[in-house]
Each structure stands twice: as C-alpha cells, then as structure tokens.
Amino acid sequence: MNRPANTEMVEGFMDGYDLSAPEPSSNRSASYRHGFMCARIDKGLLAPMDPKKLHQMADDAMNADDLQPTPGA
C-alpha cells in the first residue's frame, strides 16, 4: 500500500522527538504510536529497522485505525 503518513502519525512523530514526552498508551491511535516510535528510532533511542518493515508497519497502523469506530458515531 505505502500510503502517505496521516495527521496522527505526523503528530506522534513530532511528540516522539520530545524526549520528555511519555510513551503513548492505548488511548492514542495506532498511527500516532507508530509515528512516535519512528521518532524514537531517529533519535537513536530504539534500534534501527528495515525501511520496508517500517512502511508495512505504517500501513498496518493506518489500517487498524480505519477499522476503529468513529467517536460519537
């Protein structure tokens, strides 16, 4: 698939660069948590991963978010 990053993923990435930010819990979207993890990889806090695997994980996160019910619906 390799969809472009969504808003939640970008927000998670930006928050992940803030080393004082706490690890996100399950109250955040899968996309947010993926972005957060990618930032921590960039900062050297997590081991590097194969880019193809990261792209697949991003797609999987967005697909998981697509399956979640819309709040208030």
Count the domains in the chain.
1
pLDDT for the residue numbered 67: 87
What tens digit of pLDDT does each residue of 16-67 get? 999 999 999 999 999 999 999 999 999 999 999 999 999 999 999 999 998 8
Residue 72, in any domain of the structure: no
Rg (CA), the chain: 12
Under the banding of pLDDT at 50, 70 and 90, the label for residue 2 is confident
What domain range includes position 22?
7-67
- Predicted confidence at residue 49, as pLDDT, reads 96
Burial class (CB in 10 A: 0-12, 13-18, 19+), 28: middle
| 46, part of any domain | yes
Q: Does 61 or 72 have the greater pLDDT score?
A: 61
Length of the chain: 73
Residue 1 lies in a domain: no
Q: Going by C-beta distance under 8 Å and a sequence separation of 6 or more, which residues neighbour residue 11?
A: 32, 35
Residue 4: the pLDDT is: 84
Chain-centre distance for alpha carbon 72: 23
